[in-house]
C-alpha cells in the first residue's frame, strides 16, 4: 500500500512529465526498436557535460587537497585534454582509453576528456602492478592508457603496441 510520501512523489513526477515538462518522454527509433527518451535531455554525455558545466560555470566542482576547481575550469581542462587525445594520439570515436590512477581531480578530468573526445573510458584497477596492468589493458583492448606518473614501467609489448599517456595526478 503506497504511503503519503509515495503518493506525493508520484504526483510530482506526473507534473514534471506532462505538458512538455522537464521530464516529458517521447519515443525514438533506435536499433529498429521504439525506445522512450526524455524529450529535453541532451543527445549524449558530451553535450550534457557541456550544458551542465556552462549552467554551473562559477560553482566549485572538484576539491582535491589544496586544488579547488569550478565547473568551468574542469570543463576547460577536459576540453584541452580531449583536443590532445584527438590531435596528439589520433583518438577515434569508440577507441578505448584506460584510466589506472587514484581518485583525484585529474581522474575526473581525464574521464570527461575521454568522453568529450569520443572515446570510451575504460576503468582499470589503479593498484595493479606492471604485468597485471599490462594484461588488463590488453584484455580490454585499450588504444592508450592514462596512469600515475610514479607507476612502474609497463611492458607495452604485451599490450599489442598500445601507446601510453603518462601525465601527473
* Three-state DSSP string of 56-80: CCCCEEEEECCEEEEHHHHHHHHHH
101 closest CA partner among 169, 157, 46 = 169
Give the angle 28-29-32 at the CA atoms, nearest 5°.
Answer: 160
Q: Walk me through the domains of the chain, giving residue ranges and CATH numbers.
A: 1-41 (no CATH), 42-166 (3.40.50.980)
Tens of pLDDT, residues 68-114: 999 999 999 999 999 999 998 899 999 999 998 888 898 999 999 99
pTM: 0.75
Asked if residue 73 lies in contact with residue 54, where contact means CB atoms within 8 angstroms, the answer is no
DSSP class of 116: H
Amino acid at each position: 500500500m503506497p504511503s503519503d510520501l509515495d503518493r506525493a512523489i508520484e504526483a510530482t513526477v506526473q507534473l514534471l512529465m506532462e505538458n512538455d515538462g522537464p521530464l516529458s518522454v517521447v519515443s525514438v527509433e533506435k536499433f529498429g526498436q521504439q525506445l522512450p527518451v526524455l524529450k529535453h535531455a541532451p543527445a549524449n554525455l558530451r553535450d550534457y557535460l557541456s550544458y551542465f558545466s556552462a549552467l554551473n560555470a562559477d560553482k566549485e566542482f572538484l576539491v582535491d587537497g589544496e586544488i579547488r576547481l569550478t565547473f568551468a575550469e574542469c570543463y576547460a581542462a577536459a576540453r584541452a585534454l580531449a583536443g590532445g587525445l584527438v590531435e596528439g594520439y589520433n583518438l577515434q570515436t569508440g577507441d578505448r582509453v584506460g584510466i589506472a590512477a587514484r581518485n583525484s581531480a585529474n581522474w575526473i578530468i581525464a574521464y570527461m576528456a575521454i568522453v568529450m573526445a569520443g572515446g570510451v573510458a575504460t576503468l582499470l584497477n589503479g593498484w595493479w602492478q606492471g604485468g597485471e596492468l599490462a594484461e588488463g589493458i590488453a584484455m580490454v583492448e585499450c588504444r592508450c592508457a592514462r596512469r600515475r606518473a610514479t607507476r612502474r614501467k609497463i611492458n607495452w609489448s604485451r599490450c599489442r603496441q598500445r601507446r601510453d599517456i603518462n601525465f601527473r595526478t
